[in-house]
């Protein structure tokens, strides 16, 4: 069996699997990076003011959603497409691979930058806790692009999928 024959027979499912994996691990990578970064900074505040734990936790959780978004797309590719009734052609496999990229790449990058904003928001929490909400708002704005990535991926996987 030549490589092309193998690809024609199995390429669809291989690429779809790669897409699912990429969506999950890139989102998760970004979120792990982001939550780690904010958590490290938050620990510094909690050492002196333990009562701010709840608010610091929210700031830490903000960059955690990208991993969830990636996971949702991975789940949809697995359950709806790979585990679906129809076989996946090579072209459809490529399509699903690309469909994973919006949530994967937007998640990876936005989580990092959101974490930076969240870390800066911790400064607000430390110095002027009554204005903490504004720090959260700044961080949520970055989230927008992860949501757009998620929605683009959802549309590609579920709505415009070439049957």
Partner 1 sequence: MAVVKMKKFTLLTFSRLKAKLLKELQKFEDVHFKNLEKDELEAELEKELAFLRRDASEEAESRCEAELFKVNFALARTEPYSTAPKGIKALTTPPRSLGFDEFDAYHEQYDYNAVYERLKAADEAITQARTEISRLRGENDNLRPWLKLDVSPEEFDKGKYTKSVVGTVNRLAWDAFKAGTEESFKEAYLEALGYIKEDAAVLLTVPSEQYDDILAHVKTLGFSRLSLGFKGLPSKLAEANNARIRELEAELEKAQNSMKDLGPEHVNLQIVYDYYETALAREQACRNFLATRDVFMAEGWVPEEEAERFKAIVEGVCGKEYYLAEEEVARDSEDVPIKLKNSKMVSAFEDITMMFSTPKYNEIDPTPLLMPFYMVFFGLMVGDLGYGAILCIATACALKFMHFKPSMRRFLLFFFCCSFTTMLGGVIYGGAFGVTFITPIPTANLADFPSGWKPIMDTQKDVMVMMIVTMALGIIQILFGVAVKGYALLKEGKIFAAVCDSLLWILVLLSGIGMFAMVLPGLPGFLKTLIPAVFVICLVGLALTQGREYPTIVGKVGGGLYGVYGLTGYVGDIISYTRIAALALSGAYIAMSFNIMAGMFPVSVRWLLGTIVFLFGQVLNMGLGFLGAYVHSCRLQYVEYFGKFFEGGGVTFTPLTLKNKYINITK
99 touching partner 1, by CB under 8 A: no
Contact criterion met (CB below 8 Å) for 130 and 53: no
Q: How far apart, in whole angstroms, are the C-alpha atoms of residue 82 and residue 102?
A: 19
For residues 132-151, which are near partner 1 according to CB under 8 A?
133-134, 136-137, 140-141, 143-144, 147-148, 150-151
If residue 129 lies in a helix (H) or strand (E), which one and from where to where?
none
Residue closer to partner 1 (CB basis): 40 or 134:
134
Q: What is the helix (H) or strand (E) element at residue 51, kind and residue range?
A: none
| Cβ-Cβ contacts under 8 Å for 79 (sequence gap 6 or more) | none
Q: Which two tokens stand for residue 163?
A: 């049957």
Q: For partner 1, which residue of 79, 91, 98, 128 counts as binding (CB under 8 A)?
A: 79
Q: Is residue 159 involved in binding partner 1 (CB under 8 A)?
A: yes
C-beta of 12 vs 107, nearer to partner 1: 107
Contact of 28 with 70, CB cutoff 8 Å = yes
Q: Which listed residue (72, 99, 117, 122) binds partner 1 by CB under 8 A?
A: 72
* Residue 101 contacts residue 70 (beta carbons within 8 Å): no
The answer to the question of residue 4 lying near partner 1 (CB under 8 A) is: no
How many residues sit in the footprint of partner 1 (CB under 8 A)? Answer: 24
The footprint of partner 1 (CB under 8 A) covers: 65, 68-69, 71-72, 75-76, 79, 133-134, 136-137, 140-141, 143-144, 147-148, 150-151, 154-155, 158-159
């Amino acid at each position: 069996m030549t490589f092309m024959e193998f690809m024609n027979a199995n390429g669809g499912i291989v690429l779809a699997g790669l897409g699912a994996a990429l969506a999950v691990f890139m989102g998760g990578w970004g979120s792990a990076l982001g939550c780690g970064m904010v958590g490290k900074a938050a620990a510094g505040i909690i050492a002196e003011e333990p009562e701010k734990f709840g608010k610091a936790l929210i700031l830490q959780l903000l960059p955690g959603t990208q991993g969830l978004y990636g996971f949702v797309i991975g789940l949809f590719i697995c359950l709806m497409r790979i585990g679906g009734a129809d076989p996946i052609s090579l072209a459809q496999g490529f399509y699903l691979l690309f469909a994973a990229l919006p949530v994967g790449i937007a998640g990876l990058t936005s989580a990092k930058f959101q974490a930076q904003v969240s870390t800066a928001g911790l400064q607000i929490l430390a110095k002027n806790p009554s204005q903490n909400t504004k720090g959260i708002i700044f961080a949520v704005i970055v989230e927008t692009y992860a949501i757009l990535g998620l929605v683009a991926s959802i549309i590609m996987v579920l709505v415009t999928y070439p049957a």
